[in-house]
Structure 1
């Protein structure tokens, strides 16, 4: 972990480049650092996934409203200040990405960060060795 899951209303695919947003947010996550300068998140565990919703009702459903929900899941081990800093960085990058869309249409953007103790957490991958070279 960290995993950032983005759910959004499908009309946004025609209005912005969601793959570009994913890359920007991944870069933002990977640029975050501990006060000692070490990376806040491991490269091999970093994920950004975006999904257009199949069905949605936004607000009262009477308009062509758009919505973006970003859920950032992280494991314990970071200070509240570190979490606040990365949250503000992710929000700023998201706002910059959607600035033109925001100026043209009603859109809601929500970022939620969940830090947690997993009841069950299983990991099977071979990505970490690719980035843990001396």
Structure 2
């Protein structure tokens, strides 16, 4: 943890480089600091995963978009950031703002030409079961 999962309409694949967006999102997460100035998310635990939806229905199917002069091919992106419990509301907001800023850097130029919706949710893990198995964390432990 933390994990950022991005679900998006498949039509965004031809409009933006999702791998670059994922890297930008991970970098944004790693830049978040708490009130004491400490890095909020552990480097070895930060993950961003993006999944395109090849099948989707958004809003009215494009009628309003066409009436507004667009092509009616709406796009949508949903981002869910899960973080461990115990972070302050201010830290949670900083994390959400950092993710939003990274998304906007890539998506805002596209919004000038088409209709795109973006939703970001930040939640705390409320696990019933939590297991981790990794050889990545040891790369970032200080001796």
TM-score tier, shorter chain, comes to over 0.9
* Alignment correspondent of 2:68: none
Q: Secondary structure at the match of 2:112?
A: helix
Q: Secondary structure at the match of 2:96?
A: helix
Q: TM-score with structure 2 length normalisation? A: 0.89
Q: 1:19 and 2:19 equivalent?
A: yes
Aligned pairs, number: 134
Unaligned runs of 5+ in 1: none
- CA distance in structure 2 between the partners assigned to 1:92 and 1:38 by the alignment: 20
Q: 1:113 and 2:129 equivalent?
A: no
* Alignment correspondent of 2:50: 50
| Cα offset, 1:80, TM superposition | 0.3
- CA distance in structure 1 between the partners assigned to 2:94 and 2:24 by the alignment: 16
| Cα offset, 1:104, TM superposition | 0.6
Unaligned runs of 5+ in 2: 63-71
* Alignment correspondent of 2:141: 132
- CA distance in structure 2 between the partners assigned to 1:76 and 1:65 by the alignment: 35
- Rg: which structure is higher? 2
The structure 2 residue matched to 1:87, chosen from 62, 72, 96, is: 96
| Cα offset, 1:54, TM superposition | 2.2
| Cα offset, 1:81, TM superposition | 0.5
> Matches of residues 2-13 of structure 1 in structure 2 within 5 Å?
2-13=2-13
Cα deviations across residues 43-77 of structure 1 (Å, max 9, x unaligned)?
Answer: 11100011111211001224311000001111102
* Alignment correspondent of 1:30: 30
* Alignment correspondent of 1:73: 82
Say what the alpha-carbon RMSD is for the aligned residues.
1.1
